[in-house]
């Protein structure tokens, strides 16, 4: 397969630096972990990882849809914007303070399939909407191809990055969702909801403005 440890260290290091840079995904994970605990936030983390997996698969295949000015990429971003507008509006409209009892019940109650899917969709939409994700993977795998990295080795790198995204996001959720941290922020749950909603609306608006400048 021609897997080079030096090359793997380069790829893993670049990917780690990208993970350490906070973005909308981090904000969503923090909000979910504070309000619902890290276990339920796992669905958000998995959605983010799957969106990264889509970009990794496209980069491995050398698909032109990853191009920033490509029609397919623009359509995916537009769809993500619509979803984030809907989600952000929902949070702003229904933000409310949670009592300790209500908060604890939300954290320990059995998850339903619809709730899991909703959290998964939130994470997936956030990550698939971020053009930095697409451009990072496209650039990284283009560099690997230029260095004649075997396709089998690139698959290993891609699998590693998927696992690393999911593992890192879960670690963040576990740190923020610690009971001591959650207890401190419970009384501010309504503010957390409002701020998150406003951030999602701002992200969606900025991406739509970028798309408008590109296509109009």
Answer whether 41's CB lies under 8 Å from 116's CB: no
Say what the pTM is: 0.67
Give percent above pLDDT 70 in the chain.
68
**Alpha carbons 2 and 135: distance in angstroms, whole number:** 26
Question: Residue 95: its pLDDT value, please?
Answer: 62
**Alpha carbons 127 and 52: distance in angstroms, whole number:** 7
Question: Residue 42: its pLDDT value, please?
Answer: 94
Question: Residue 187: its pLDDT value, please?
Answer: 61
Residues 88-140: tens digit of each pLDDT = 787 677 665 544 334 444 555 556 788 899 899 989 988 887 767 777 787 77
Nearest C-alpha neighbor of 63 from the set 1, 158, 142 = 142
Which of 23-32, 101-110, 117-126, 192-201 comes out lowest in average pLDDT?
101-110
Read off the pLDDT of each residue in 181-185 and give the average, rounded to a whole number. Answer: 63
Place of tokens 């923020």: 176
């Amino acid at each position: 397969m021609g897997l080079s440890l030096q090359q793997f260290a380069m790829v893993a290091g670049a990917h780690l630096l990208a993970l350490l840079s906070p973005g909308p995904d981090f904000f969503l994970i923090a909000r979910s972990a504070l309000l619902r605990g890290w276990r339920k936030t796992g669905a958000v983390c998995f959605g983010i990882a799957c969106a990264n997996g889509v970009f990794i698969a496209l980069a491995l295949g050398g698909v032109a849809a990853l191009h920033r000015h490509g029609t397919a990429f623009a359509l995916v971003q537009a769809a993500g914007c619509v979803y984030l507008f809907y989600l952000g509006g929902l949070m702003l409209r229904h933000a409310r303070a949670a009592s300790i009892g209500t908060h604890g019940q939300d954290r320990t109650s059995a998850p339903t399939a619809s709730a899991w899917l909703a959290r998964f969709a939130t994470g997936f939409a956030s990550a698939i909407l971020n053009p930095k994700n697409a451009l990072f993977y496209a650039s990284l795998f283009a560099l690997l191809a230029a260095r004649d990295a075997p396709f089998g080795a690139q698959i290993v790198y891609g699998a590693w990055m998927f696992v690393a995204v999911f593992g890192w996001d879960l670690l963040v959720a576990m740190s923020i969702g610690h009971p001591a941290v959650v207890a401190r922020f419970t009384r501010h749950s309504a503010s957390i909801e409002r701020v998150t909603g406003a951030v999602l609306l701002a992200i969606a608006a900025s991406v739509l403005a970028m798309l408008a400048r590109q296509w109009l």
